[in-house]
A and B are shown apart, each in its own frame.
Chain A
Amino acid sequence: MFTRDTLEKDRELQERWKEKYQKLYKDIEFKAATASGIPVKPFYTPSDIEHIAFNEIGVPGDYPYTRGIYPLQYQFQPWVNQMSLGYGLPEQTRERMEMLKDAGMKGYFGAQSYNLPHDLVSKAGLDPDSPEARGLVGRGGVNISTIDDLERLFHDIPLDKTQIVQNIGSATMVGLAMFIVYAERRGFPGEKLGGNSMNWLYKAPFVDYAMFPPKSAFKLMVEFIKFCSRNMPRWNTTNICGYFIEEAGGNAIQEAAFTMATGIAITEACIKAGLHPDEFLPRFGFQFAQGNDFLEEIAKIRAIRRIWAKTNRERFGCKDQKSMQVRMHIHTSGCSLMAQQPLVNVVRAAFHTLGAVLAGTNAIHTSAYDEALGLPTEEAATLALRTQQVVLHETSIPNVSDPLAGSYYVEWLTSKIEEEANKLMEKIDQMGYIKAWETGWFKDELAKSAYKWREGIDNSERIVVGVNKYVSDEERKVPVFKIDPKIEETAVERVKKFRAQRDNARTKAALERLRNTARRVDEERPQGGDLMPAIIEAAKADATLGEMQGILKEVFGWGYAY
């Protein structure tokens, strides 16, 4: 990438630097490493990136997309303010949606975009009257169990002009089936719906969830991708998520390697089921964390874009550019936010947001400063959105795409993370993804990193302001958001009433047909039929989320893999 003259001059200057160093600092050795443990030097020069071919960096919007997936970045289309929001009953979540919309939250090209996590109950595929749901209804997101709930959430919203991010855990298929039926009743056919499902049936090896066993999970993910790829042209089917890997303790290298390995495993399963990669990969989305090591986190994102592009072209022979592009959302790190001196989290989240923008993400959720204390208050959620708006309008950073490109350190680190992630991916390849899942290997690796992080704080090797340094005895009180426990009763009454008022014979018959289709899919019988249409039929017959997901659990198995 450099002329011989430049490299020679570089070596000469480095010699001079060494002389000055020895004179000034004598034998003192300065040691530092990134958060993931990559040792770093005090400065970087052309010699450090001599080995990187210029086209590995290239220009924005061109293979291997190190510098971003579009020729123009925020100059043309600012990132989506994809604020993860919602709690309690659908009406309460709708209030938050309206509040943030009024505060200027924007999706692509001015369309509204709502990033909606469902509560732990819906995510586990349960109705609110399930005994397991006690105390957890409306916690961690919105509770949805019937099509009536969807009306409470989405009434009057033009669904063809709105992006919906449906984050519904294990109930991916059931959640989207209900949404399709609801939208159809409102006059919006499936092919007009835009947004995405997470399809996070692969979450269990990283995060402690009960889930379908690995082989079933892959079968279901493939069924879902197949259906959406052929019927929902505007719907992103699968989200490859590094955020929960980081939150579980993963460092930058692990986050990059585990997400890429997950994408590869799902791609392989789809190919085995007869799909062509260019048929489904353009509808994959990604989600990553932006944590504390500012430049390493940026380098991680740039490396990920490059790894994905190369993998899909070289390993899977993709031809469609979209199959090689990482369309990503960044969720600023939640686990970096501290309960002590919570206002300091405003500063942390601002750095994380800035990092996400410098990395060239396509959408951002900025975490609220009170997340270590509870669900964000309205004020905290608005301030998080304001953080993004300040970066967009006041810093001038969006004027230039990938402004850190060419930095000796950033390019070196991008390349280093790519190299380290590739090594780890190779290890997973040799082990086999399903084996790594079943044996708990992923989880153990993450637990080791989480342990190291926490030990580092406890023995003050890692400084966290307000936690192990600059500690204050006087804790400044910030308001904590509380969910009214009565909402649980309301949700329970509603689902009971819904079941009492429907044509139960019709529901029962539709659920029976779903069970039969599910069995055929599970046994991989030829002409088994597709699962999604059967779920959609059951949703049309007013089956509840818990009833439909209950059948999938019964047929495909449920629990912990290790």
Chain B
Amino acid sequence: MNASNKKIRVLLTKSQLDGHDRGVRYLARKLREAGIEVIFTRYRSPGEVVNSALQEDVDVIGISFSVGGHTVISAGVIESLQEKGMGNIPLIIGGIIPGDDMSELLRMGVSGVFGPGARAGEVIEHIRTHVAKDL
């Protein structure tokens, strides 16, 4: 199998404590329909997100937030990715993210932020663009 027809693998995840899964489950289905492999998990800590990403050998990590905590968790995930030498894996964030926080997340190194109302198509396009660079 050569790189061009390798399926993109995405880890979609959400805190075990946050039950607002409607958006992320919708996105999972849309990604699958677009030919992207999706691994859906529920994490307990930023370290667990990175471990799942490593084990599943994913190209992109997506985390959904509905009640806050996005800056703290994203910072933890980015730090842990760098420690493990996985800093090249793009991290995307979605859910209820206030406008002010979007720019902060992007500054921290998050590759894309998709707030309420974002279309699945935008996420798919973002993933394809960012993963294409690595393949």
Report A's interface with B, CB cutoff 8 A. Answer: 120-121, 123-124, 126, 131-136, 139-140, 203, 207-210, 244, 247-249, 335, 338-340, 372-375, 447, 450-451, 454, 458, 467, 477, 480, 482-483, 485, 560
Contact = CB atoms under 8 A, between A and B. Distances in A.
Contact of A136 (B17, B19, B20): B17
Nearest to A131: B45
Contacts of A249: 22
B117 to A, nearest CB: 5
A560 B44 CA distance: 13
Interface string B1-44: 00000000000001111111110011001000000000000101
Given A209-B16, A339-B115, A458-B120, 9 more contacts: A121-B17, A134-B46, A135-B73, A136-B18, A136-B67, A136-B69, A208-B21, A373-B96, A447-B29
Contacts of A335: 22
A128 to B, nearest CB: 12
Contacts of B46: 134
A203 B22 CA distance: 14
Nearest to B116: A339
Given A373-B96, A458-B119, A136 B15 contact: yes
Given A131-B44, A139-B69, A339-B117, A451 B26 contact: yes
Interface size class of B (residues with CB under 8 A): 20 to 34
Given A372-B116, A480-B99, A134 B25 contact: no
B67 A139 contact: yes
A450 B45 contact: no
A126 B17 CA distance: 10
A247 B22 contact: yes
A139 B68 contact: yes
Given A208-B21, A340-B117, A373-B98, A135 B42 contact: no
B22 to A, nearest CB: 5
Contacts of A208: 14, 19-21, 25, 42
A173 B81 CA distance: 39
Q: Which of B18, B20, B29, B68 has the most CB of A within 10 A?
A: B68
Given A120-B15, A338-B116, A454-B26, A482 B98 contact: yes
Contacts of A560: 42
Interface in B95-134: 96, 98-100, 115-117, 119-120
A134 B115 contact: no
B42 to A, nearest CB: 7
Interface in B33-88: 42, 44-46, 67-73, 76
A109 B100 CA distance: 43
27 contacts: A124-B16, A132-B15, A132-B16, A134-B45, A134-B69, A135-B70, A139-B67, A139-B68, A139-B69, A140-B67, A207-B20, A207-B21, A208-B14, A208-B19, A208-B21, A209-B19, A248-B22, A249-B22, A339-B117, A372-B96, A373-B116, A374-B98, A450-B25, A454-B26, A458-B120, A467-B117, A480-B98
Contacts of A477: 99
A482 B98 CA distance: 9
A325 to B, nearest CB: 29
4 closest pairs, A vs B, by CB? A135-B69, A135-B72, A339-B116, A208-B21
A450 B24 CA distance: 11
Nearest to A340: B117
Contacts of B67: 120, 136, 139-140
A51 to B, nearest CB: 37
Contacts of A136: 15, 17-18, 67-69
B42 A485 contact: no
Nearest to B72: A135
Contacts of A247: 20, 22
Contacts of B26: 447, 450-451, 454
A248 B54 CA distance: 30
Given A131-B44, A447-B25, A451-B29, A207 B69 contact: no
Nearest to B70: A135
A249 B22 CA distance: 7
Nearest to A342: B116
Nearest to B24: A208
Contacts of B76: 134
A188 to B, nearest CB: 31
B57 to A, nearest CB: 23
A17 B70 CA distance: 59
Nearest to A120: B17
B15 A203 contact: no
B87 to A, nearest CB: 21
A30 to B, nearest CB: 30
Nearest to B40: A208
A132 B44 contact: yes
Nearest to B118: A339
B69 A374 contact: no
A139 B68 CA distance: 7
Contacts of B44: 131-132
A361 B30 CA distance: 37
A361 to B, nearest CB: 24
A95 B119 CA distance: 38
Nearest to B21: A208
Nearest to A207: B19
Contacts of B100: 480
A520 to B, nearest CB: 29
A374 B96 CA distance: 7
B71 to A, nearest CB: 8
A248 to B, nearest CB: 6
A120 B16 CA distance: 9
Contacts of B119: 458
